[in-house]
Amino acid sequence: MTMVCRPIHITDLEIPENLCLMSPMYFIGQKNPDRAKRWWIHLGTEDTDNSLTVTSNLAAALDNLGADVSHRMYWDEGHGANSDAADFITWVAQGGRLIFRLNQGQGFPSVDPVHNPRVKQRFAGV
């Protein structure tokens, strides 16, 4: 069965047609020249909201596509672990994207230093 992924609507609850929305792997596999080149995927080993296997597979798939992937797991920490905040700020200052393009134009400001001059100026000294 070939799965065709389409946006979900409130009245559109057919699971088979929308199952692909549950996994980023469907979208990573599609040709997309605008896909971010750098990824920060860090989570705690005690995270109950994200699967360690899914994030590992995502990191491996992105790496295979030539992306620069920072994938780490914090031992004995849960969801929202933030053990290396300073490293994250440095990573952002070097061109990492915080919000996917999908969110731009939908009420979310760009916090990508490349596309938002105020953010670029704030991180200029990092």
pLDDT tens-digit series, residues 91-125 = 888 876 554 333 333 343 444 444 445 444 544 55
Angle at 70 (CA atoms; ends 66, 71), nearest 5 degrees? 110
Look up the pTM and report it. 0.60
Burial pattern 75-108, b for ≥16 Cβ within 10 A else e, equals eebeeebeeeeeebeebbbeebbbeeeeeeeeee
Has residue 82 got a pLDDT over 70?
A: yes
pLDDT tens-digit series, residues 14-73 = 666 666 777 778 788 788 888 888 888 888 888 888 788 888 898 999 999 999 888 888
**Beta bridge partner(s), residue 108:** 104
For the chain, domain boundaries: 15-83
Q: Can you give the pLDDT at residue 11? A: 55
